[in-house]
Amino acid sequence: MTFGEPLATLPSLRHSGVTEPAPVRWLLVSAAAAFLGLFVLVPLLAVFATALRAGLGRYAGAILHPDARSAIRLTLLTAAIVVPVNALFGIAAGWAIANFRFRGKRLLITFIDLPFSVSPVIAGLALVLIFGRQGWLGGWLDARQIRIVFAVPGVVLATAFVTVPYVAREVLAVVEAQGNDEETAALTLGAGGWQILSRITLPKMRWGLLYGIALCNARAMGEFGAVSVVSGHVRGETITLPLHAQILYDQYDAVGAFAVASLLALLALFTLVTKKYVESRSRPA
């Protein structure tokens, strides 16, 4: 009977939710572990192994090379501009979406996600179309000696476009889950806008904000596609860390390429640690 089966499995369902026999469970878990190991862990280890293959001296040499140092500087500069801007945007978007009814709210939420669905290369090409010498604003900018494409501003703009969603999404998730009752309560208790923002909303957002900033930072430093299109690869000027790694690799300098890449890999590990920390702190007591 079709009735008998579900009834028979009901008690075990209620207790653990797992009904598969042990060998099946074992197989599924090892498949997941093998997949992660093969596609995530092994490449990550390969980066460090290759970088250190020729010894620490060679590793340090690759990182301290003037071109590498210039790439590190540009990458840090880009992140230092893009991350605060996106953090402010994320706070503003989270604040507005949580507290106000306005026209186009859903549209705003959709547009925040747009950079996720647009290929970074397209984003870079779009910037070239607008700011490039043949672009819409090219003549105007040229006449004023302003260079955006194939210069640092282009790198910053491309990175900013690609990283727009990171902080805003994390903040929005927190804000939407918690609603705005606390803000309303603060308002009836006599608090003004800035008091509510600094004493209620920002503390409420803080873990989402921190994690969003970590993610945004990692992506800002690691972005390749969009930056590659607008950079123009001017040596010592518009080369970021990922571009530098690519250039070294193209010159058959695997050790140098991987040494530079290992810096980005360390950044990824740092981001993961931040994530774990934030998760442990933001879980309700």
Partner 1 sequence: MSIVLQAVTKRFTSGGTPAVSGVSFEAPRGAITAVLGPSGAGKSTVLRIVAGLEDPDTGRVLIDGEDCASVPVQKRGVGLVFQHYALFRHMTVRENVAFGLSVRRVPRKEIAARVAQLLQLVQLEQLADRYPAQLSGGQRQRIAFARALAVRPRVLLLDEPFGALDAAVRRELREWLEQLHAGMGVTTLLVTHDQEEALELAEHVVLMFDGRIAQSGPPEEVYDHPASPAVASFLGGANLLTAPVFSGRADFNFGALAVAAPGWARDGELLQVFVRPHDLKLRRVRSVQHGLAVARVERLKRIGGYVRISLALPGGEMLTVESPRAEIDELGVAVGEPVQVDLRAARPFTENTTH
- Name the minimum Å distance from CB 206 to partner 1: 8
Q: What contacts 24+ positions apart, CB below 8 Å, involve 39-47?
A: 44/265, 44/268, 47/258, 47/261, 47/262, 47/265
The reply on whether position 177 binds partner 1 by CB under 8 A is no
Binder among 55, 84, 139, 203 for partner 1 (CB under 8 A): 203
Residues in CB range of 229: below 8 A, 6 or more apart: 121, 124, 125, 127, 128, 158
Q: Measure the CA angle with vertex 11, ends 7 and 16; round to 5°.
A: 135
Candidates 53, 105, 199, 235; binder of partner 1 (CB under 8 A) is 199
Sole binder of partner 1 in the list 118, 187, 254, 264 (CB under 8 A): 187
Q: Name the residue among 220, 208, 136, 149 with its Cα closest to residue 176.
A: 208
Q: Of the ranges 20-28, 176-184, 213-221, 235-243, which one interacts with partner 1 (CB under 8 A)?
A: 176-184
Q: 186 or 220: whose CB is closer to partner 1?
A: 186
C-beta contacts of 179-183 below 8 A and 24+ residues apart:
179/98, 180/98, 180/99, 183/98, 183/99
Rule CB under 8 A: choose which of 12, 30, 110, 184 binds partner 1.
184
What's the token pair of residue 74? 């540009």
Give the shortest CB-170-to-partner 1 separation in angstroms: 17
Question: Of 119 and 184, which has the nearer Cβ to partner 1?
Answer: 184
CB of 196 to partner 1, least distance (A): 9
> What does the binding site for partner 1 look like in residue numbers (CB under 8 A)?
181-182, 184-192, 195, 199-200, 203-204, 284-285
